[in-house]
Amino acid sequence: MLSDRPAFEKRIKRHVIGRFREYFAGTAPGLESLCLQELQALPLTIHKAQTCPGGVLFHGRLIDCYRANLYLRTANRVLMRIGTFKAAGFHELEKKCSELPWELFLEPSHEIAFRIRAKKSRLFHTAAIADRFRSSISSRISSPQQTLHGRNERQQPQTVFVRVVDNRFTVSLDSSGVNLHKRGIKTIGSTAPLRETTAAAVLMLAGYKPAKPLLDPMCGSGTFSLEAAMLASNIPAGWFRDFAFTGWPAHRQARKRWEHMKAEGGKQISFPKQPPVLASDIDRRVCNAFKKAISGHELGAAIEILHRDFFDIQPQNFTHRSGLVVINPPYGRRIETPGGIRTLLLRIGTKLLRDFPGWKFALMVPAKSMLQQIPLSFRTFPIFHGGLQVVAAIGTVPPTADQSPP
């Protein structure tokens, strides 16, 4: 059977590595256009890139999938389409599913999970659908030629996504693994954690420039600060984490390309001489935990962390240049009454107006109606945040009479 190995590797090279396939970069609702802009700015060989509800569809090669995972800041995950077919009954489903070349995508020892959504279909029982897929996959990847590859050194759990609409099955394999908002840095949580993908989107919408200072005065677990520090240091979004695609059979042949990509990304990393990001919080424990989280990632060169109340901060003590101040104040369960958050927002707006002339600002609020408390002009953007529909208010504090706009 060893003579079959070159033929098997040739199949992988032809059908997985070299072939243009359809990929889907999933995002939070409302971030599709930002993700498309990111994708189009990368040095990829993609084509037919377009937004659709919940993400961006594009055609590319496996190496483009790798690069999307490494660099996209607003994507939740990247799925590789591996097949589409119609099936109106379980017998037909088993037949069509068994025809997919699972051995090219999965190892025999993989732990496989399924995420199945079905609507307007005769087959709607997701557990029964998963059973048919599991049986079909097992029959394909237990073949002798597949076992020639043996067990991967760092076996990654794999997830098969199945979407069923009007009896049409779209089958995808998750290339990312854990959600891409998990950058591999934070080991701490907070009462209402902001996802890194959301923070990246808000920074983009606010026009953040890494050369400018950034103030995160209610930093919590530091999501805004971390995203800004990675941008200021030119660190790829996925630099500190692993991906599910490293457990694919194709990765044996594509590993050198991946290592080269990582090496090229590493050459672009450049830590600033002075921290352009100031993070602060009124909770000393939060500040100490944040310092600990970044200590092993060299990000201390880009972030200064202070235990201080926002209302006691004077920006000129940090920088003489105007920049961006990003604020994710406590709300919801952290502020027990609507009056409490309204009072807080009024204080924030007054503080910005008095002490941050010429600065850009991005303020997260739980409802657009509450922005009536802010004595500033701004644009609003709906943001999906942890199951809540919140609003990002983005604008510029009017400069003083003797101050030029930034």
**pLDDT confidence tier of residue 1, bands split at 50, 70 and 90:** very low
pLDDT digits (tens, 9 = 90+) for 291-308: 988 887 888 899 999 999
Residue 41 lies in a domain: yes
pLDDT the model gives residue 97: 96
Per-residue pLDDT tens over the stretch 62-92? 999 999 999 999 999 999 999 999 999 999 9
**pLDDT > 70? residue 395:** yes
Percent of the chain with pLDDT over 90: 72
What confidence tier does 336 reach under pLDDT thresholds 50, 70, 90?
Answer: very low
Average pLDDT over the chain, rounded to an integer:
89
Q: Is the residue at 388 inside a domain?
A: yes
Residue 241 has what pLDDT? 95
So what's the pLDDT on residue 153? 47
User: Whose structure tokens read 């889907």?
Assistant: 24
- The per-residue pLDDT for 335 is 44
The one-character DSSP state at 122 is: S
Taking 60 as the threshold, does the pLDDT of residue 3 lie above it? no
Q: At 244, phi and psi to the nearest 5?
A: -65, -30
- Same domain flag for 359 and 389: yes
Cα–Cα distance list, 106 to 60, 103, 161, 227 (Å): 20, 6, 14, 33
Whether 247 is covered by a domain: the verdict is: no
- Lookup: tokens for 222: 């530091």
Report if residue 360 sits inside a domain: yes
Listed in sequence order, the residues at least 6 apart from 369 whose beta carbon sits closer than 8 Å to its beta carbon are none
Measured at the alpha carbon of residue 293, what is the angle toward residues 307 and 196, in degrees to the nearest 5? Answer: 95
Bridge partners of 216, per DSSP, are: 279
Q: Which residues contact 70 (CB under 8 A, 6 or more apart)?
A: 236, 237, 238, 239, 261, 262, 265
Which of 397, 394, 311, 328 shows the shortest CA–CA distance to 366?
328
Note the pLDDT of residue 404: 52
The span from the CA of 213 to the CA of 211, in Å, is 7
Q: How far apart are CA 54 and CA 35, in angstroms?
A: 10
163 and 204 share one domain: no
Distance CA 290, CA 288 (A): 5
Q: Are residues 222 and 131 in the same domain?
A: no
Per-residue b or e along 383-399, where b marks 16 or more CB atoms closer than 10 Å to that residue's CB: bbbeeeebbbbbbbbee
What pLDDT does 159 receive?
Answer: 97
User: Does residue 322 contact residue 355 with C-beta atoms inside 8 Å?
Assistant: no
Q: Domain containing 109 — which CATH number? A: 3.30.2130.30
pLDDT at 403: 57
| Cβ(26)–Cβ(54) below 8 Å | yes
For 379, the domain range is: 196-234+270-396
pLDDT band at 334 (very low <50, low <70, confident <90, very high): very low
Please state, in angstroms and rounded to a whole number, the distance separating the CA atoms of residues 69 and 309: 37
Q: CATH number of the domain that 280 lies in?
A: 3.40.50.150
Sign of the C-alpha dihedral computed for residues 196, 201, 206 and 209 taken in this order: positive
Q: Is residue 212 part of a domain?
A: yes
Same domain (yes/no): 156, 214: no
Tokens of 258: 């991946």
Distance CA 312, CA 320 (A): 17
Confidence of residue 371 (pLDDT cuts 50, 70, 90): confident
Q: Does residue 253 form part of some domain? A: no
Do 150 and 120 share a structural domain?
Answer: yes
Per the domain annotation, does 150 fall within a domain? yes
Report the number of distinct structural domains present in the chain. 2
Q: Are residues 102 and 155 in the same domain?
A: yes
Residue 189's pLDDT is what?
A: 54
Residues 106 and 25 in one domain: yes
- Establish if 259 belongs to a structural domain: no
203 and 170 together in one domain: no
Identify whether residues 28 and 94 lie together within a single domain: yes
Residue type, 207: G
What's the pLDDT score for residue 297?
A: 82
pLDDT for position 340: 79
- What mean pLDDT is predicted for residues 384-403? 81
Contact 166, 190 (CB under 8 A): no
Q: Are residues 147 and 61 in the same domain?
A: yes
Say whether both 169 and 73 belong to one domain.
yes
In the predicted model, what is the mean pLDDT of residues 250-261? 96
Give yes or no: residues 276 and 351 share one domain.
Answer: yes
The C-alpha atoms of residue 57 and residue 331 are separated, in whole angstroms, by 35
Interval 124-168: pLDDT, tens: 899 999 999 999 999 988 754 444 444 444 567 899 999 999 999
